[in-house]
Structure 1
Amino acid sequence: MEAFLISTGIVALAEIGDKTQLLAFCLAAKFRRPLPIVAAIFVATIANHAFAAAIGSWITSLLGPDILRWVLGVSFIAMAVWTLIPDKIDEEDMPLAKYGVFLTTLIAFFVAEMGDKTQVATVALAARYHSLVAVVCGTTFGMMLANVPAVYLGDKIAHRVSLKLVHGIAALVFALLGVATLMGAGATLGA
């Protein structure tokens, strides 16, 4: 349950103001059809985060526990710093609508999430918690917590949320996880 809750919280916080959330705002404004957009975000996130979690689980089989602890600890601290850097969406990230709402959103989200903060976090969380299903469910739920309101409420909430505060909280959580991991917390997980 811890893996699910931590994964949900970290990804939900990290996703606020992230380029995929900005993409959700743009798609909602362009298509004005929230249900297929939300469904496509869900499918794209599950596919992307299942892949990322599988990589995280695979990494744990390659590295010894001491090396893995240092890699994960430093990775979480790096994620804390990365979270403080605001994202923006590039014009080439804007999808063309020739494939319809669902497929356009699915492709755009899957591609935009490649190498993104939340995907990298999913790799690290899967390596840390040794629970692929709990991590994928948690990170997917976190993505949905951040993106469903973006699709349905869009501009109504965009200006009311302090991105600096949310990013600061996410960075603090990543930093605490990193320090705790480096200090040996959770060393018995998966053992």
Structure 2
Amino acid sequence: METERLRLRRFTADDLDLLIELDSDPEVMRFLTGQATPREEIKNVVLPGMLEVYGEHPGLGTFAAEEKDGGAFVGWFGLQPTADAATVDVGYRLNRRSWGKGYATEGTKMLIAYAFTEIKVERVVADTMAVNHRSRAVMRRSGLRFVRLWHEEFEDPLPGTEFGEVEYALERRTWEAGRRA
């Protein structure tokens, strides 16, 4: 899959170090876990889980994103299955060097279009912490609309958890209407 500036591909076992570097940046992980993901967890849980989705859910998964010009690793974009077969969850995680360049919106828009045209789902959703304003802006620029705010209880909450989680979504018919306009 490609956008104007990005190439998305499936991860392979050879991409372990890319994921370790990405998940080692405390700012990248700020609204996710608040800390670096241990190497052994990425090696034994995270990456194998990513690879497993490709086989179990054709067309879905987490895709490595690289700049078309030079091939630099940007991060990843994902379309994940949900409990509802007609709905997929879109997500992204970019390295700090790639922030502020429009890549998150570019890749997310492409995956939303892919979800509706190739996977033929009816709904795309995304969620984040309410205080993650940059991610929420990406969701809005990508065409997703605010659906709800909710609160969860966590044993060891991250700063900002008290403000809740937010969900954004886009229905196929709304997306199609926007393309015709």
What TM-score range do you get, normalising by the shorter chain? under 0.3
TM-score, normalization by structure 1: 0.25
- Quick check: which one's strand share is greater? 2
TM-score, normalised to structure 2's length?
Answer: 0.26
Return the structure number with greater helix share: 1
Q: Which has the higher contact order (CA 8 A, sep 6+)?
A: 1
